[in-house]
Amino acid sequence: MGAPYDRGLIEDFGRFRYFSAGMWAWVLHKVTGWVLIGYLFAHIAVLSTAIPAASDPEAIAAGTDLYTRTIQGLEGIFLVRVLEVGLLAAAVFHMTNGIRLLLVDLGIGLEREAEGFYVSVAVTAVITVLSIPVFLPPEVVPW
Amino acid sequence: MSDSDADRTIRPETSGLNSEDPEEPESDVTESTGETVTLRIFRYDPEVESKQDAGFDTFRIPTHEGMTILDALIEARDEQDPSLTFRHSCRQGVCGSDALFINGSQRLGCKTQVSELKEPIQIEPLPHHPVVKDLVVDMDSFYERMRAVEPYFDPDDPPPDELTERYQSRENREDVKLSTRCIWCGACTSSCTIASNEDVYLGPAAINKGYRFYADEREGEDRAEERLEILQEHDGVWRCQTQFSCTNVCPQDIPLTEHIQQIKRDATKADLRFW
Ligand code: HEM
Ligand code: SF4
Ligand code: FES
């Protein structure tokens, strides 16, 4: 017998075309979980600008302190606003699918886990769309 | 006499046709429909120079009603290329030797209808196993994992005497019923990305096998505790991330994820201490 042929990992890329609901839920839960962690650090960094800002009450009253300027600067960037919509989508999906996973851990409705994933996606889509007018400037909201 | 006997006699008279009538078409399920199906089959043979580079060969196979992938493979081998190599035995979903990767998912060749699949039908060896030749893979790592859970009935106490049967309650039989169906085909373990990337994870089939004996009350409590220990060791149930791929592909419809989750919950409860 010749040497067995090991196909390696390369062949696995592209398999996503065949993913089931459970696989998509798994991938998206991981991605959104780590996106939320990433946001958490960015969030802490931005909020930390309030510490040096606190020593200057006059600037705070005038609205020119470091913290206020940082927040306003960020919110003035269009891309940041779009990312906020994405962040909300990630958080909502992670939360709804997280509830699905908790039910799976409890052994409830395992035969309907795929439907659970579709519901998570639908809820995420609805809430994300409804949030657009909140995050984006009125002139770009399509309705 | 019985109802079924009566049923058997009505055929020719009520149909108004003589069963000997030469005009009546023979009912032969293997009759060709005149159509063909296109298969793309993975080829690799370390002993033949032209096949050392793995690739795909295309086959056009005449189909008939009820044709399975295994039928098509046999046809391809017998009529077109005798070097085409694959495993099969029972042809009826019992032996578990022809789990293949067909159009992107793990299925038994003999339990998959050609007519259900989109063409060209792509047939590959079971992923995450070394390929020996064409569609034949080395299943050693799968069997090793199965052995790791000590897959045999092993009661705390021997029966009182050799001739005593060990009865199981109906309820307990229901608990283990589905888990006993496993035919060791390896489809589930091949479909699991966690089992595939780390050879150490027991994988769904082995955990299901462990569950089958863990849940069997006839073994006794001590053995059940040991089984739980084996199943929740570092490379056991806690590696499962509920992708559900195993449950989706199992040709025996065993609720694998459910059994794994059950072990996780029992293991957690067994380890809980209130003090
Ligand atoms: C809103 C309520 C939330 C729920 C219901 C929830 C639920 C869950 C569940 C059940 C898991 C385990 C998934 C598994 O079984 O494999 C998980 C994983 C995770 N969650 Fe959450 N979560 C929530 C919020 C968050 C937040 C706010 C963050 C980040 C700051 C976060 C970050 C993560 C990460 C990083 C993982 C691990 C992903 C991985 O498997 O690599 N989650 N979550
Ligand atoms: S559990 Fe199902 S898929 Fe897995 S080896 Fe047994 S029969 Fe095959
Ligand atoms: S040939 Fe036995 S299971 Fe398919």
Nearest to A110 among B46, B245, B257 (CB): B257
- Give the pLDDT of residue B19: 42
CA angle B196, B253, B228 (to 5 degrees): 60
Of A119, A11, A6, A102, give the one whose Cα is nearest residue B265. A102
- Give the pLDDT of residue B20: 46
- Give the pLDDT of residue B138: 93
- Give the pLDDT of residue A11: 58
Structure tokens at B226: 């040991």
Distance CA B144, CA B151 (A): 11
- Give the pLDDT of residue B7: 40
Distance CA A19, CA B32 (A): 34
Distance A94 CA to ligand 1 centre (A): 7
Distance A123 CA to ligand 2 centre (A): 34
- Give the pLDDT of residue A7: 65
Answer yes or no: do B138 and A6 touch at CB < 8 A: no
How far away is chain B from the Cα of A7, in angstroms, using its nearest Cα?
Answer: 7
Q: Where are the domains of chain B?
A: 6-137, 140-271
Ligand nearest to the CA of B87: 3
Answer yes or no: do B261 and A104 touch at CB < 8 A: yes
Distance CA B272, CA B275 (A): 10
Distance B111 CA to ligand 3 centre (A): 8
Tens digits of pLDDT across chain B (275 residues):
344 443 433 333 333 344 444 454 454 455 556 789 999 999 999 898 888 888 899 999 999 999 999 999 999 999 999 999 999 999 999 999 999 999 999 999 999 999 999 999 999 999 888 899 999 999 999 999 999 999 999 998 887 787 888 889 999 999 999 999 999 999 999 999 899 876 679 999 999 999 999 999 999 999 999 999 999 987 899 999 999 999 999 999 999 999 999 999 999 999 887 76
Query: Does the beta carbon of A102 lie inside 6 Å of ligand 1?
Result: yes
Q: Which atom of ligand 2 is nearest to the CA of B99?
A: 8
Burial of A70 (0-12, 13-18, 19+ CB in 10 A): middle
Of B235, B165, B226, give the one whose Cα is nearest residue B198. B235
Is-contact B54 B131, C-beta < 8 A? yes
| CB neighbourhood size of B186 (10 A) | 25
| Residues of chain A contacting residue B257, judged by C-beta atoms under 8 Å apart | 104, 110, 113
Lowest mean pLDDT segment, chosen from A70-84, A127-141, B137-151: A127-141
- Superfamily of domain B6-137, CATH level 4: Beta-grasp domain (3.10.20.30)
Percent helix, percent strand, percent coil in chain B, to nearest 5: 40, 15, 45
Distance CA B149, CA B268 (A): 19
| Residues of chain A contacting residue B258, judged by C-beta atoms under 8 Å apart | 107, 110
The residues in A 7-46 lying below 8 A from B, measured between CB atoms, are 7, 9, 11-12, 15, 17-18, 20-23, 26
Backbone angles phi, psi at B131, to 5 degrees: -85, 130
Lowest mean pLDDT segment, chosen from A57-71, A91-105, A120-134, B152-166: B152-166
Answer yes or no: do B242 and A114 touch at CB < 8 A: no
Quick check: pTM over 0.80?
yes
B170 versus A63: the higher-pLDDT residue is B170
Nearest to B105 among A18, A104, A105 (CB): A18
Quick check: A32 pLDDT over 70? yes
| Residues of chain A contacting residue B138, judged by C-beta atoms under 8 Å apart | 4
Of B246, B236, B220, give the one whose Cα is nearest residue B268. B236
Q: Which of B126, B138, B140, B242 should be substituted to probe chain A, the one whose Cβ sees the most A Cβ atoms within 10 Å?
A: B242
Quick check: A105 pLDDT over 50? yes
Ligand nearest to the CA of A104: 1
CA angle A16, A22, A24 (to 5 degrees): 40
Q: Which atom of ligand 1 is nearest to the CA of A39?
A: 30
**Atom 3 (ligand 2) nearest CA:** B250
Distances (CA, A) of B152 to B155, B157, B174, B216, B250: 10, 15, 19, 11, 21
Q: Which residues line ligand 2 (CB under 6 A)?
A: B 182-188, 204-205, 208, 250-252, 254, 256
Per-residue DSSP letters for A46-83?
HHHTHHHHTT-HHHHHHT-SHHHHHHHHHHT-HHHHHH
Answer yes or no: do A5 and B47 touch at CB < 8 A: no
Distance B107 CA to ligand 2 centre (A): 10
Is-contact B43 B56, C-beta < 8 A? yes
Mean pLDDT over residues A51-57, rounded?
89
The domains found in chain A, sorted by start residue, are: 21-135 (1.20.1300.10)
Query: Does the beta carbon of B93 lie inside 6 Å of ligand 3?
Result: yes
Place of tokens 């990992």: A9
**Atom 7 (ligand 2) nearest CA:** B182
- Superfamily of domain B140-271, CATH level 4: Alpha-helical ferredoxin (1.10.1060.10)
